[in-house]
């Protein structure tokens, strides 16, 4: 599937494909995305401004929760530290699980992993997390299982 979006005067194309990439070209595009536009630290840095803008339009919002899918799970880890705006967080089939990120998280967190995430990293992350938590690995499911209907993965 090819999606196009306008960005000022030029059109940017984003090719959506099933993860993990099934050829070298898709692998390079995915790597480029994660090191530029979609880099988790860069994305995490956009969150405070985004929430402030939403709160301007919806001033009755008093608490935030967050769910991250795939690389969004990494963004959740990076934004759930000491000064987080969130009351609770969840990561579904999270990409780039790093047990070191767990040290900073002080809010309730759920992680729903698939068979494709590193079981060792998920276990170490859970062990390091000191707050309320729920961890579950769906060992019969592929990465992306909670994001896409099975018919899209065939």
Read off the pLDDT of residues 95-115 as tens digits, 9 standing for 90 and up: 899 999 999 999 999 999 999
Q: Which of 37-41, 72-76, 137-141 tops mean pLDDT?
A: 72-76
pTM for this prediction = 0.79
**Each residue's pLDDT tens digit, 51-77:** 999 999 999 999 999 999 988 999 999
CATH architecture for segment(s) 56-153 = 3-Layer(aba) Sandwich (3.40)
Segments making up each domain of the chain, as ranges? 56-153
- Per-residue CA distances from 145 to 82, 117, 149 (Å): 30, 12, 7
Task: At 138, list the tokens.
Answer: 């769906």
């Amino acid at each position: 599937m090819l999606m196009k979006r306008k960005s000022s005067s030029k059109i940017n194309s984003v090719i959506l494909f099933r993860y993990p990439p099934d050829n070298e070209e898709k692998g390079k595009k995915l790597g480029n995305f994660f090191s530029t536009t979609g880099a988790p630290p860069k994305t995490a840095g956009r969150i405070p401004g985004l929430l402030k803008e939403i709160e301007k339009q919806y001033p009755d919002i008093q608490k935030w929760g967050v769910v991250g899918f795939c690389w969004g799970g990494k963004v959740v880890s990076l934004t759930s530290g000491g000064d987080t705006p969130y009351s609770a967080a969840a990561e579904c089939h999270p990409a780039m699980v790093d047990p070191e990120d767990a040290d900073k998280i002080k809010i309730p967190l759920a992680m729903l992993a698939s068979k494709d995430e590193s079981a060792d990293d998920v276990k170490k992350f859970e062990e390091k997390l000191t707050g309320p938590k729920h961890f579950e690995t769906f060992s019969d499911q592929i990465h992306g299982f909670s994001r896409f209907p099975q018919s899209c993965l065939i």
